[in-house]
Amino acid sequence: MKCPRIGPFALSVCIVFLLGGGCGASSGSGDVRTNAPAAIPAAAPVDQAANAPSPEATGGFDGRRALAHVARLTQIGPRQSGTPGIAQAQQYILAELKSYGCTAETDDFHADTPAGSLAMKNILVKIPGERQDIVLLTTHYDTKRLENFVGADDGGSSTGVMLELARLLCGRRGRDTVWIAFFDGEEAVNLQWADPDNCYGSRQMAARLAASGDLKRIKALLLADIVGSRNLRIRRESASTRWLTDLVWSVAARLGYGSVFVREQTSIEDDHISFLRRGVPAVDVIDLETSASYWHTPQDTLDKLSARSLAVVGHVFLETVKELERQPR
Q: How many residues make up the chain in this entry?
A: 329
Q: What's the gap between Cα 153 and its chain centre?
A: 9
Q: Where are the domains of the chain?
A: 31-325
Residuewise pLDDT in 10s, the chain (329 residues): 344 333 333 333 333 222 222 222 233 322 323 334 455 554 455 566 668 899 999 999 999 999 999 999 999 999 999 999 999 999 999 999 999 999 999 999 999 999 999 999 999 999 999 999 999 999 999 999 998 899 999 999 999 999 999 999 999 999 999 999 999 999 999 999 999 999 999 999 999 999 999 999 999 999 999 999 999 999 999 999 999 999 999 999 999 999 999 999 999 999 999 999 999 999 999 999 999 999 999 999 999 999 999 999 999 999 999 999 998 76
Kindly list the distances between the CA atom of residue 29 and the CA atoms of 69, 96, 293, 313, in Å, as whole numbers in the listed order: 11, 9, 33, 25
HSE-up of residue 251 (Cα within 13 Å, Cβ side): 21
Which of 264, 284, 287 is closest to 274 using CA atoms?
284
pLDDT of 40 reads 55
Cβ pair 32, 217 in contact under 8 A: no
pLDDT of 51 reads 82
pTM: 0.87
pLDDT of 26 reads 31
Classified by CATH at the fold level, domain 31-325 comes out as Aminopeptidase (3.40.630)
Strand 282-286 versus strand 261-266 pairing type = unpaired
